[in-house]
A = this chain, B = another copy of it.
Amino acid sequence: MLRTHTCGELRITDIDKTVKLSGWVQRSRDLGGMTFIDLRDRYGITQLVFNMETHATLCKKARKLGREYVIQVEGLVAERSNKNTKIPTGEIEITAENIVVLNESKLPPFTIEDNTDGGEELRMKYRYLDLRRNPLRKALELRHKMAITTRNYLDKQGFFDIETPYLIKSTPEGARDFIVPSRMNTNQFYALPQSPQTFKQLLMVAGYDRYYQIVKCFRDEDLRADRQPEFTQIDCEMAFVEQEDILDMFEGLTLHLFKEIKGMEIDKFPRMEYSDAMKYYGSDKPDIRFGMRFVELNDLTQDKGFAIFDQAELVVGIKADGLSDYSRKQLDQLTDLVRKPQIGAKGLVYIKYNSDGSFKSSVDKFYNTEDLQKITDRFEAKPGDLILILSGETEKVRKQLNELRLEMGNRLGYRNPNVFAPLWVVDFPLLEWDEDNGRFHAMHHPFTSPKPEDIALLETDPGKVRANAYDLVINGVEIGGGSIRIHNRELQKLMFKHLGFTEEEAQAQFGFLMDAFEYGAPPHGGVAFGFDRITSLFGGSDSIRDYIAFPKNNSGRDVMIDTPSLVSQAQLDELMLNIVKPTK
């Protein structure tokens, strides 16, 4: 080894030891007769001292070392006169006896500091330098710890880590597949998996009743911020279980992660029906770190002459504690916010319940004090509170009010990233109406089982059928979801029919699974957690990119290795492919 210790290891108890360290030059300072160098590696920083009086040649050599040079130093551990209490090695320094330059470095294009001067683009191009910075090092270390802790927990629970294939079959259902031309099977293609869904179900049929995998998945979708074409899932499946068993198991995993990784004890997760989540939070992933639940007001607001409310399908509001002194300008800002095209509300009604007990509202004209008192009473408002009300078509207005609620939560400091409020959202609808294609599609995926008591509704009112499907939501972020699956050929056929598959299409694409259901398929269900997302949540960050060693940018490019890129005609010829040049 080119070192006896790491740069984060030596303490006051190591004094007088002769040691060898290797690492990068973080910074150096010349103070007349002495030169100090901070030597950095993944484990920490150790101060090196070079003495011009006693080791002139060595000291001169040290003065020539630039930032990010890789060196090996040999020397004696000594007590520092000027101790640095901020770092674990701050009580000692190395009196250097010898240095070897292991590699030189050009001046890095940005500073390797916690707060760097490098822009996003530049840091992506030199990702290997950006990864040297503390925040990214900590992010990847956290990811490693999350992975091994998850694995050991699931191993102890009897789960087998079973690898499923990456070269699978393209199916038009769901998101767009990446496809992979096969050379040995002319004109045919594999697809990269969007998830190992059908394979994990086949493993249940095969009797492996507890399966997990931390696995890459692929979707060729247009990338919004924080979507990656390849992403990682903690993918799990269990047989001989009911929904409750799965929620228990993976609540257990999540609690274990909180305890092991963050030293936090979290209460049992509350559960909320999808319909309540929509009704009270306007979202299937409510942030329950704070209340501010929706209060519906139609009965109190109608027939008072305010046409907008009278004509609205839903009049619904939230209460912002203690904000009755919001200025005209602040209220206008909120109105502008909800009117933004991506939110789309027409306007915002407020009621200030002033500290002196009086009311001030943007709809004073239509509602007298008694009316306003009734409304604010329903919110259990106190003097000093502010009521914000939106109205319109139910689904839309709920989504709008969700945005406003989250904004008010931010303003009131209710969304502390160091507070964690997990929640199971359950009883999702089985089907979702797809306006564009004029048909239902599966809200979760086509293998999700309807609740037995709702199966009859499939024929009469498909949109009302509830599924045995659930999501884990933490702080308003969807961490993952799952369902109890169909394990019966006839029911699976029925589902495909309702999703608009012809019998031939269903058989061609998923025949292998329906066949498997005829050979003793056990009841089963599972869950998949977004590993990038839960890791970034644990890290207290919104950006999953910081938690991926080599992410792609919003165009799906890796700008460091400059890919995707052209391939040779010879490669295409072998694959029997031609590229079509864009016409313009």
Contact = CB atoms under 8 A, between A and B. Distances in A.
A488 B216 CA distance: 32
A57 to B, nearest CB: 23
Given A131-B203, A222-B184, A242 B68 contact: no
20 contacts: A42-B208, A103-B488, A103-B520, A126-B519, A128-B203, A128-B516, A144-B160, A148-B152, A164-B549, A166-B192, A167-B558, A167-B563, A170-B567, A172-B571, A185-B556, A185-B557, A188-B566, A189-B566, A191-B567, A202-B560
A326 interface: no
Contacts of A574: 176
A581 B188 CA distance: 11
Interface of A: 1-3, 22, 24, 40-42, 68-70, 72, 102-106, 108, 126-129, 131-132, 137, 140-141, 143-144, 147-148, 151-152, 155, 160-170, 172, 176-192, 198-199, 202-203, 205-209, 216, 218, 220, 222-223, 229-230, 232, 240-242, 245, 487-488, 512, 516-523, 548-550, 552, 555-558, 560-568, 571, 573-582
A163 to B, nearest CB: 6
A267 to B, nearest CB: 24
A136 B576 CA distance: 37
A3 B524 CA distance: 13
A561 B168 contact: yes
B176 A179 contact: no
Given A2-B241, A22-B240, A68-B520, A190 B563 contact: yes
> Copies per complex?
2
A194 to B, nearest CB: 13
B568 A172 contact: yes
B166 A141 contact: no
Nearest to A170: B567
Given A42-B207, A68-B520, A167-B230, 16 more contacts: A24-B207, A102-B522, A102-B523, A103-B523, A105-B520, A127-B206, A128-B206, A167-B563, A176-B183, A178-B180, A184-B222, A184-B556, A185-B557, A185-B564, A187-B579, A188-B565
A177 B567 CA distance: 11
Contact of A42 (B41, B209, B518): B209
A422 B218 CA distance: 39
B245 A1 contact: yes
A129 to B, nearest CB: 6
Nearest to A187: B579
Contacts of A172: 568, 571
Interface SS of chain A: loop
Given A144-B162, A163-B548, A568-B172, A183 B220 contact: yes
A568 to B, nearest CB: 7
Nearest to A186: B582
A180 B206 contact: no
A229 to B, nearest CB: 6
A242 B2 contact: yes
A24 B205 CA distance: 10
A467 B298 CA distance: 80
Nearest to A232: B163
B208 A131 contact: yes
Q: Output the residue of A2, A40, A69 with the most chain B CB within 10 A.
A: A2
Contacts of A151: 148, 151
Contacts of A519: 68, 105-106, 108, 126, 128-129
Given A131-B206, A160-B144, A184 B102 contact: no
A567 to B, nearest CB: 5
Contacts of A191: 563, 567
Given A70-B521, A102-B522, A184-B222, A169 B548 contact: no
B140 A148 contact: no
Contacts of A106: 518-519
A521 B103 contact: yes
A182 B177 CA distance: 11
A512 B560 contact: yes
Given A103-B522, A166-B230, A161 B148 contact: yes
A180 B182 contact: no
A558 B394 CA distance: 48
A198 B562 CA distance: 13
B520 A565 contact: no
The 10 closest A-B pairs by CB, nearest first: A105-B520, A131-B206, A188-B564, A169-B563, A182-B564, A68-B520, A2-B240, A144-B160, A576-B580, A128-B206
Contacts of A162: 140, 143-144, 549
A552 to B, nearest CB: 7
B561 A512 contact: yes
A556 B517 CA distance: 26
Nearest to A554: B184
Contacts of A220: 183-184
Given A520-B104, A522-B102, A582-B186, A565 B169 contact: yes
A14 B571 CA distance: 64
